[in-house]
Structure 1
Amino acid sequence: MNKSEFLSHLYSHLSVLPPEERDELMEDYENHFAFAEQNGKSESDVVRELGDPAELAKEAIGERNVHPPDPVYWMNPEHFSAPATELTDSRSQNGFTKAMIYTGLFFLNLIVIPLLLSCWASAVSIAVGAFAGLISPLALGLEFIMKGSIQPIQGFASIILVGIGILLMILARYIFNLLVRGSMSYWKWNHQLAKGVQVNEQ
């Protein structure tokens, strides 16, 4: 270890001292090296005589009663963990909230699900009526084949039924789209609400 390395190590170990005292000590050691060199000693000889810079710094710091600064806590360590009573109260409140939400969902579904099923049944009946109106010309054709003749009023009625069937088919398609979106949205809402309760509980 040469002079520069020795002084560099010593300076780093004296970092806890005030700048004025540290600079004063560093100046003393630099003068010691300069005086020894004037008397014909080499840098390695001086380093060997002085010893470990860490030990020298430790002695210098001990003489001045300098201690490393205490760690600064931005929060009280006691606040890092909640007391057991608070955790128990929080868990009991979460359990009560979870039970209330699930109970509310249960009774809500008892009302909403039958309504959705009735809406689906109505949509299916409309679709069946539309299909019946659209195939009315086929029924009229079968009657013509079997009887050999049909009444003009039956032809007009068949045309009217086809028109009604087309309108009902459009209506059924619109209702089916609404029911699909509504049912999916309601299911997702139930799922997200239940999932949110589970996440908060964790």
Structure 2
Amino acid sequence: MTKFQFLNQLNSSLKGLSSEEREDILQDFEEHFANGSVEGKSEEQIADSLGSPNQIAKELLATYHLEKVETTATTGNIIRAVWAVIGLGFFNLIIVLGPFIGLAAVVFAGWASGIAFIVSPLLLLIDIVIYPGGFEWFELFFSMALCGAGIFITVGMYYGTKVLMAQFLRYLKYNVSLVKGGLKNDE
């Protein structure tokens, strides 16, 4: 593969990045080709030593999306980061998607139960309007207790969601580092 073919393929694989970021990356790889030619290597040898442009683009996109999640942790950014990491390899489909679905289910269930507990007094009021003769004081106090528990659950879920997102982001970064070449031993 020639330098032109390599850079073209890399550029087309980096569609998700802005033109400035793509130009910076392409310039870095042009420098690799320039340094390799100074050492007497052919363009094909340099391209072979760099690896597949598609795989390089997948790794760069995964890193980009992970950095974007760190700066702006929105649901869309998290999902894009998860898909970018999954795109690094088939093995990541199981290693990343499984924990992501499990974590999302736990977070959703926590928020749903907290909110349901908070609105329990409203549901009691609706029940009283529909069946006025069925009112019992125990139900009122129990729904108020559930509302208080719901407030504690939602406050806990607020902080728990932040911690779980940060830990999952660390997990994604760890996974990307493994795919990029494994962990380096500092001995």
Which TM bucket (shorter chain)?
A: 0.3 to 0.5
Structure showing greater Rg: 1
TM-score between the two structures when normalised by the length of structure 2 = 0.46
